[in-house]
Amino acid sequence: MRTLACFIVLTLLLSILPAAFAEANFYEAPKQITVTFTGDCTLGTDDRERNTKTGFDAYIQKYGYEYPFAKVRDIFEADDLTVINLEGVFYDYDTYRTDKTYAFRGPTDYVNILTCSSVEAVYLGNNHTLDYGEPGIRSTVETLESAGVKWFGTTEYTNASYTYEKDGVKIGFVSVYISYWWQGGRSPMIQLMSELRRDGCQVIVACMHGGVEYDIRHDNNQEKLATALLEYGADIIVGNHPHTLQEIWVRDGKTILWSLGNFAFGGNSKLKNNKAGELNIDTCIAQITFSFDENNNYLGHQLRLIPCHLSGSTDYNDYQPFPVTGKDAEKALKNMQRAVNCLRFNPFVEGYGSLQNFVAAPRFQVGIIK
């Protein structure tokens, strides 16, 4: 009798487990916009490595502008909008270099790396945008605009948002470096987000740049900035700067990606270890699909994670990130789930990634009315 009972229980468990661990279903809605985000991208290098055989410039000269994003271009082309953090400047001179350890610069023709790879927008709110002072950032902005690449960012010399529109739906974007988000007793983010809402943006994405480099978990300063950005009106927060993967939070219908690591990162010819002592080769593409009804009301969003390696070699950086599979993919995703209170991911599916559950917009959650 006991054997029969155990068999029945086991059968029930086996019938439940597949459903419990099955990948999430893709949420369908009348109107949807898919936006792709990556880790830090430095499309250039420090002058010390400019003429070396292992530097970023040497790879572009040998393989062409298409090289850095060649293995992820199909992903970028399949979405509505690809947005990267451009960590460095497009500037043809070595003048006005800031007195700092690393200053990242690529010649202005490197904007072709973006245009030939389906990267439609970049954000400039980071700690390397001013590596060559005002001339450097002015050159960067002019180069991007001449090439038709959209940009946004709040710095000492810029304070601009970006609005993407499709089918009557508008998504607003802002970005800021953590040391610059509060100026003169007020954050410039407040005004920018208010303007985006008045302009009819149904969703606002805030890209924040801050945290401790190579730390595997976000810190209190990142949390303070994220909290403020959410209070100002952000719906999604995408973090960069730690250069390594960190966890993801979902809170009250809003998602925070604390750090997506490095991606096409010309700043380092050698791979480094993170603060856990692990080789820092894991990175991740985050695709967010925003859903709207027929009247353009925001319903919520769904996140797809595509684990990658930032280099094809573990001995050096070849500056060409690519999607990984099997145990490498599982490891990358595991590295984004180190904290106790972070989002636990749905299973990884070969050839697709890890699709998370749909996150309803706050006003559509049970018991919440806005």
Estimate to the nearest angstrom the gap between the alpha carbon of 212 and the chain centroid. Answer: 17
Give the model's pLDDT for residue 184.
65
Q: Where are the domains of the chain?
A: 30-364
Give the model's pLDDT for residue 23.
61
Q: Read off the pLDDT of each residue in 81-88 and give the average, rounded to a whole number.
A: 98
Give the model's pLDDT for residue 182.
75
Q: Read off the pLDDT of each residue in 151-167 and give the average, rounded to a whole number.
A: 95
Per-residue pLDDT tens digits for 19-64: 333 467 999 999 999 999 999 999 999 998 998 999 999 999 999 9
CATH of 30-364, one of 3.60.21, 1.10.10, 3.30.450, 3.40.50: 3.60.21
Per-residue pLDDT tens digits for 215-249: 999 999 999 999 999 999 999 999 999 999 999 99
Q: Helix H segments across the chain?
A: 2-21, 56-63, 73-78, 111-115, 133-147, 188-198, 220-232, 326-334
Query: In sequence order, what DSSP letters do the residues of 311-325 get, joined into one string?
Result: -S-SSS--S--EE--
Give the model's pLDDT for residue 262.
97
Average pLDDT, the chain: 91
Q: Is the dihedral of CA 141, 147, 153, 159 positive or negative?
A: positive
State how far the Cα of 280 lies from the Cα of 353, in Å rounded to an integer.
Answer: 20
Residue 13 has pLDDT above 70, yes or no: no
Residue 5 has pLDDT above 50, yes or no: no
Residue 133 has pLDDT above 90, yes or no: yes
Per-residue pLDDT tens digits for 188-202: 889 999 999 999 999
Per-residue pLDDT tens digits for 314-341: 999 999 999 999 999 999 999 999 998 9
Residue 17 has pLDDT above 50, yes or no: no
Q: Is the dihedral of CA 44, 46, 47, 50 positive or negative?
A: negative
Measure the N-to-C terminal CA separation of the chain; round to a whole number of Å.
56
Per-residue pLDDT tens digits for 281-303: 999 999 999 999 999 999 999 99
